[in-house]
């Protein structure tokens, strides 16, 4: 975990209210694994006060990418950053997806909803290197929410898309898209990142279908490195359900350990 207060933005792309920034930080890039995140300071003054968390979307030798959607003040400021600007980041944070346990010959798939697609590109690339071709189910409200479809295809990662309004791909929820493929191409292991209702529904499906799965959870974060106890989710640890720090123990957890009704 490193603090890099002068990481230069060396690339920027945008599609509507989705943005991709390439940030030069060799030491963070070197250590990063898929599923980890960084905390970015979006303003130099006291508003927004806290850093904002973003998954590592891609990694090259000296750079990391983040891919995000404007959600409020902090992401709007970040979207306004230009190539050549410096940004103040901490990373890589959290534990990534667990990949060592994948047995040879296992099939893997991933489901990403909206901005939740972010960590799945880095994941797809690493899995490819490890010899596990990933299939991605990518859902959004409308076609404008799926700007990365081509990027996955160009990398040789197959993508199936869905939109709630039917403007592109399967007409409906990404969970239903995933279910429609289940009889013909059932994965042995699933990776999931997206809005809570989507993850909750998929968690139920995975438990019923006995598909082992890892979920990347979100929470409002005060620090990102375990100091504030603000980011908790109820997680089973050695049989006991406890409020667990997502930033430190996660953000990735196995389905069977996640308790969805926060009570």
Ligand X SMILES: Cc1cc2nc3c(=O)[nH]c(=O)nc-3n(C[C@H](O)[C@H](O)[C@H](O)COP(=O)(O)OP(=O)(O)OC[C@H]3O[C@@H](n4cnc5c(N)ncnc54)[C@H](O)[C@@H]3O)c2cc1C
Binding site for ligand X (CB under 6 A): 37, 48, 52-55, 66-69, 71-75, 115, 118, 218-221, 251
Residue 3 interacts with ligand FMN (CB under 6 A): yes or no: no
Position 220 contacts ligand FMN (CB under 6 A): no
Partner touching 115 among ligand FMN, ligand X, ligand FES, none, CB below 5 to 8 Å by kind: ligand X
Contact residue for ligand FMN among 71, 80, 141, 228 (CB under 6 A): 228
The closest alpha carbon to 140, from 73, 198, 220, belongs to 198
∠ CA 151-154-155, nearest 5°, is 90
Quick check: 83 and 12 in contact, CB under 8 A? yes
118 Cβ neighbours under 8 A, 6+ residues apart: 54, 55, 57, 66, 67, 68, 112, 193
| C-beta closer to ligand X: residue 179 or 232 | 232
Q: How far is the CB of 251 from ligand X (least distance, A)?
A: 4
Residue 55 site contact among ligand X, other proteins, ligand FMN, none (CB < 5 to 8 Å, cut-off depends on kind): ligand X
173 binds, among other proteins, ligand FES, ligand FMN, none (CB under 5 to 8 A by kind): none
Structure tokens at 47: 């508003």
- Please identify, using beta-carbon distances, which residue of 10 and 232 lies nearer to other proteins: 232
What does DSSP assign to residue 116?
Answer: G
Q: Is the dihedral of CA 78, 79, 81, 82 positive or negative?
A: positive
- Rg value, the chain, Cα: 18
Give the shortest CB-50-to-ligand FES separation in angstroms: 9
């Amino acid at each position: 975990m490193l603090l890099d207060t002068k990481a230069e933005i060396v690339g920027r792309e945008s599609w509507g209210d989705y943005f991709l920034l390439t940030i030069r930080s060799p030491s963070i890039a070197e250590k990063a694994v898929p599923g980890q995140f960084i905390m970015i300071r979006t303003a130099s003054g006291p508003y927004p006060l806290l850093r904002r968390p973003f998954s590592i979307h891609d990694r090259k030798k000296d750079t990391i990418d983040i891919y995000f959607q404007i959600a409020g003040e902090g992401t709007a400021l970040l979207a306004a950053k230009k190539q050549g600007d410096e940004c103040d980041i901490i990373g890589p944070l959290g534990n990534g997806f667990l990949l060592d346990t994948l047995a040879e010959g296992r099939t893997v798939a991933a489901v990403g909803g909206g901005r939740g697609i972010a960590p799945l590109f880095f994941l797809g690339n690493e899995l490819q290197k490890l010899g596990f071709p990933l299939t991605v189910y990518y859902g959004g409200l409308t076609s404008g929410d799926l700007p990365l479809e081509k990027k996955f295809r160009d990398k040789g990662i197959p993508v199936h898309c869905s939109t709630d309004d039917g403007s592109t791909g399967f007409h409906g929820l990404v969970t239903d898209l995933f279910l429609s493929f289940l009889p013909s191409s059932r994965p042995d292991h699933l990776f999931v990142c997206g809005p809570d209702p989507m993850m909750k529904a998929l968690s139920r499906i995975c438990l019923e279908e006995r598909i082992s799965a890892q979920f990347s959870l979100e929470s409002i974060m005060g620090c990102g490195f375990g100091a504030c106890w603000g980011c908790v989710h109820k997680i089973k640890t050695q049989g006991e359900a406890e409020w667990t720090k997502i930033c430190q123990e996660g953000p990735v957890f196995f389905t069977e350990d996640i308790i969805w009704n926060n009570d």
